[in-house]
Amino acid sequence: MTERELTAADLDALLALQRATYAGLARREFLVQTEPEELAYIFGGGGAGLGVFDGERLVGAWVLYYPFGRSDNLGLLLNRDPMTAAHFELALLDPAYRGRGLHREMVRRLTETAARDGRFTCILATAHPDNAASVRGFTACGYENLGVYKLYGGLDRCVLCKPL
């Protein structure tokens, strides 16, 4: 397996992985799919992504989002300076590759990416409270669980925060 930064050229593969991951979930409320337009913003400079490939095939993707003044900035909800809050937007892994620590490793690496960037004072992530693999990947990387909020049109989400 190999890892590399994702670019706009990976958008179709990322959307296909997102569709397949969502379709395979036992509990679909765990994943709110990111819209193609938002991913285009991210790969146009409004974020960063890392992909894991098996040969040519994208099998895992982790994506940061830099919302700045956009209305979906979670910093607004938490009374933090939204202009310096980065978001952990997406974590997707083909089921055949789960349980090997890839999520924890990619959360660690993208958190370092946001810290190196220099523009952000915190990174915020969300996960369904029952999505243990997702929540534990973040807490293992030093994110604090700030509690459960109603987000994305009324879904329960833990909000996790790591100061940078």
Ligand X SMILES: CC(C)(COP(=O)(O)OP(=O)(O)OC[C@H]1O[C@@H](n2cnc3c(N)ncnc32)[C@H](O)[C@@H]1OP(=O)(O)O)[C@@H](O)C(=O)NCCC(=O)NCCS
Q: What is the 3-state secondary structure (H, E, C) of 64-119?
A: EECCCCCCCCHHHHCCCCHHHEEEEEEEEECHHHCCCCHHHHHHHHHHHHHHHHCC
Does position 133 bind ligand X by CB under 6 A? yes
Determine if 100 is a binding residue for ligand X (CB under 6 A): yes
Interaction between residue 148 and ligand X (CB under 6 A): no
Contact yes or no for 114/141 (Cβ under 8 A): no
| Contacting residue, 61, 64, 103, 158, with ligand X by CB under 6 A | 103
Cβ atoms 61, 3 nearer than 8 A: no
By C-beta, is 100 or 119 nearer to ligand X?
Answer: 100
CB of 101 to ligand X, least distance (A): 4
Residues that bind ligand X (CB under 6 A): 21, 30-31, 91-93, 98-104, 127, 131-134, 136-137, 140
